Structures are given as C-alpha cells and as structure tokens.
A = this chain, B = another copy of it.
Amino acid sequence: MGHHHKISADQPDPSSSTATTSQSSGSAPITVDIHTHTYPPSYISLLTSRTKVPYIHQPSDGDPRLIILPSDDDPSKPPHLRGRPVDKSYSSWDEKLKFMRTHGISLSVVSLANPWLDFLPSETAADTARQINDDLNAACESQNAKGDKHAQLYAFASLPLSAPTEQIVAEIRRLESLSCVKGIILGTTGLGAGLDDPFLAEIWTALEDTQTMIFLHPHYGLPDAAFGGPEVIARSGHVLPLALGFPLETTIAVARMFLAGVFDRHSRLRMLLAHSGGTLPFLAGRIQSCVEHEREFVANGGDKQGPTRTVWDVLGTNIWLDAVIYGKAGLKAAVEAAGAVGQGIEGSERLMFGTDHPFFPPLKEKDGRWASVDSNLAAIAGVAGAEEEVARKILGGNALRVLGIEI
C-alpha cells in the first residue's frame, strides 16, 4: 500500500484550514467515492464455477443470474429466475468510469461486492485472494497510467479469511507492495464467529502494524425471525433486509468488538464503517449508558471485564464513516458522533462520500444521474450549509488524506 503515501490519519489535517493544497478553497472540490463495488473478471469466473451460494448461474436460455444470499436461492423458482441478472455494470470498468463521469467523481476506491472471499476452501483461499487482489490492483494501475486525473481508480483488497492465519497475515503484509491498494474490505463474521473472536488477535495486530484501513461492510443481515419471518419480509421485497438488516448487522458487529475490548487491546485499528456506521452514531449514547450501568462489568463491581475505553473515544480515534446515508438527519448524527471526543479533529473530518454503485440504480431512466447518489450529495450539502470546507472534506478531502492518496 505504498509506504510513501503513509501519513498519520490520527492527526488533524494541517492543511485543512489553509489554501496551500490541491484541496484548497476556490478550486472545485474533488469527489472521491470510497464505497463502490466491482466484480473483476477473476471473481466472476470464480462465482460461475460454483453451484451453491454464492454463485452465478448461467442458464441456457437467458442472462447469467447472481445468487449471493441463501434467500436469493429460492427453490420455488427455476434457477434462471433466482437472484438478479448480472448486469455489465457489475464488472465493466467502462461502466464504472461512465458512472463516475456522470456524477463528477474523480476517484473511486473500488471493493469486491459481498460476500467477498468468505466462502473459499481453506487450501486454495490464499492463492485465490492473491490472484483477485493482483487483478484488481493491475486494473487500477492500468487506468491510472492513462493520466486522467478525473478518472482514477484505487482499491480495497479482500482477505482469504478461510486460510490458515499465517497466510492471512502474509496477504495483509503483501498488500503493502500493491500501489493501488488502500486498505481491505471485511465482512462482519470474521473467521466465522464474529469480530470479537479471540482468534482474530494476530490478524488485528497485522492490520494495526500495517495501519491498513479496514472497510467494514455487512452481508449476512439479521435472522428472518427478527423481522417476523420470511412471509413478513416477502411482503415488501428486499426493503427490510436491505434497509434495516444491513445497518443493524454492522452495528451489532462493531458493538461486539467494542464490548469485548478489541479496541482496548488493538487501539491503533483503523476502520471505515459502511452506511455511516449502520446505526452506531445514533445508538452510541445508549451503548455507553448501558456499559456504565451494567452491574456485571468489573468497573461496576461485577466479574466481567467490559470495555475500558468509551464508545465516543473509539468513534473519534479508530473509526471513520462513509456518508452513504441518504439523508441529512443521519449524516448530522454521524458527524456529531465522530467528533464527540474532539482531540482536535472535527467530526466532519471522519466522514467520506460514497455511492454503493452498482447498487441502487435508477429503475427507469438509466443514463442520467442516480437519485441514490444525489440524495447523498444533498445530505452533505445540507450538513455543510455555508461551510464550504466541510463539504469539500466529506466529498473527497478526507478520503485523500486518510488513505494517503496524492492526485
């Protein structure tokens, strides 16, 4: 991940209030998309070679279908109607660059879509991860070599989590040699038992040592029973799992890390949370209050360890948030929660614009701007108000600074 790019992201940007950098007032803001997915050809091949979830089914009489969730694999439907069509936007760099041009995005940090490489057999996982990460890095290098500063690509790599620990750690260290890799994307199950699993300690340490940004992203949702069962869910299509299941999954995963003391033992972790943290910014106060009132924690006279740092401290030190929240109300909470501790860093320096492309496309007119993107831009404009510098940071300045990217 290019050592020459490495700067401390725990310090405020010294240039943020001056006019000495490319991000200075006066010039148009640079827009960076840090939440945008791709299925590179080697990943498409991998999914097509499989016959169980996750997989791509190629029917003889139609377009290929992507089936990534058990609930997509509805046995009452013939395979050519399960899941969703694999649109060319899923793997085409031209489509990604066209989408970027349409929305004035100069730089995208792409990541594999869920479920990444969580499902690989242990023996081949590390090889497969290397191949896919190399492919992704090569595609970005090739694009960047064209020299168009308004069409740059970088990537979050994927880890072979089913491989032996030393192979996972080796891949984390190897990623430092890939010039366009700026972090990793990670699901909420870790090695299978969640992110509070003690067996993750070596991996957290490697991620701390390399100061790798961990983009935490949901995939598994909540059990159907949380919504009242599959029949209740089906009444409103994908809304309940997508609108609520995803963010609640992220919230629970980070809360479990926090409560288990992962951020106490690994205080230099750097995590970027998808969807503005799920609901963490909103619930941070309640989580902290419950911790301070939990009789079973040692601090309150009990026999369980409990976290020693506060959730506000973790939010202000270890966590960054994307701005994929589709509304000013959520973004206000995210900025406020991110800056509650202060430490000289404004909350708005921890938020980063994203789109979730190729998901949430317009359902009718395909070629114009996407309403999902515009609602995120409107939220940023609404929160920034007259403070142009705040919008500039959230739109791209923070991503460039925190990920160590020079345009």
Decide if A330 touches B283 in the complex (CB within 8 Å): yes
User: Which one, A108-116, A137-145, A149-157, A227-235, is touching chain B?
Assistant: A227-235
In the bound complex, CA of A375 to CA of B292 (Å): 12
Query: Does A196 count as interface, using CB distance less than 8 angstroms?
Result: yes
Contacts of A326 in B (CB 8 A): 285-286, 288-289
Q: Which of A225-243 contact B (CB under 8 A)?
A: 225-228, 232, 235-240, 242-243
Decide if A304 touches B248 in the complex (CB within 8 Å): no
Decide if B304 touches A237 in the complex (CB within 8 Å): yes
**Closest-CB distance, A193 to chain B (whole angstroms):** 7
Decide if B223 touches A226 in the complex (CB within 8 Å): yes
Number of copies: 2
In the bound complex, CA of A136 to CA of B244 (Å): 37
Decide if A228 touches B243 in the complex (CB within 8 Å): no
Query: Does A386 count as interface, using CB distance less than 8 angstroms?
Result: no
Contacts of A337 in B (CB 8 A): 327, 329
Contacts of A300 in B (CB 8 A): 363
Q: Which residue of chain B has its CB nearest to the CB of A259?
A: B236
Contacts of A286 in B (CB 8 A): 243, 247, 275, 325-327, 330
**Closest-CB distance, A12 to chain B (whole angstroms):** 20
Decide if B239 touches A294 in the complex (CB within 8 Å): yes
In the bound complex, CA of A111 to CA of B78 (Å): 52
**Closest-CB distance, A10 to chain B (whole angstroms):** 20
Query: Does A333 count as interface, using CB distance less than 8 angstroms?
Result: yes
Whether A285 touches B222, Cβ cut-off 8 Å, given contacts A236-B306, A255-B244, A363-B300, is: no
Query: Does A369 count as interface, using CB distance less than 8 angstroms?
Result: no
Query: Does A293 count as interface, using CB distance less than 8 angstroms?
Result: yes
In the bound complex, CA of A340 to CA of B147 (Å): 43
Neighbour of A329 across the interface among B223, B251, B336, B375, CB < 8 A: B336
Q: Which residue of chain B has its CB nearest to the CB of A347?
A: B329
Q: Which of A257-275 contact B (CB under 8 A)?
A: 259-260, 275
Query: Does A295 count as interface, using CB distance less than 8 angstroms?
Result: yes
In the bound complex, CA of A25 to CA of B243 (Å): 42
Whether A293 touches B360, Cβ cut-off 8 Å, given contacts A244-B255, A330-B286, A333-B282, is: yes
Q: Number of A interface residues at 8 Å Cβ cutoff, please give it.
A: 71
A interface SS class: helix
Whether A236 touches B304, Cβ cut-off 8 Å, given contacts A244-B252, A328-B336, A375-B285, is: yes
Q: Which residue of chain B has its CB nearest to the CB of A328?
A: B336
Query: Does A256 count as interface, using CB distance less than 8 angstroms?
Result: yes
The residue in A252, A279, A282 that gathers the most chain B C-beta atoms within 10 A of its C-beta is A282
Q: Which of A327-344 contact B (CB under 8 A)?
A: 327-330, 332-334, 336-337, 340
Query: Does A379 count as interface, using CB distance less than 8 angstroms?
Result: yes
Q: Which of A368-400 contact B (CB under 8 A)?
A: 371-372, 375, 379
**Closest-CB distance, A132 to chain B (whole angstroms):** 28
Decide if B193 touches A283 in the complex (CB within 8 Å): no
Decide if B282 touches A282 in the complex (CB within 8 Å): yes
Query: Does A62 count as interface, using CB distance less than 8 angstroms?
Result: no
The residue in A196, A260, A283, A295 that gathers the most chain B C-beta atoms within 10 A of its C-beta is A283
A sample of 29 cross-chain residue pairs with beta-carbon separation below 8 angstroms, ordered by A number, consists of A193-B228, A194-B228, A196-B232, A222-B226, A227-B256, A228-B256, A235-B304, A236-B259, A236-B296, A237-B297, A238-B296, A239-B291, A240-B252, A242-B290, A243-B286, A243-B291, A248-B248, A281-B333, A282-B325, A283-B330, A285-B328, A285-B329, A285-B379, A286-B330, A289-B326, A301-B363, A328-B336, A329-B334, A333-B333
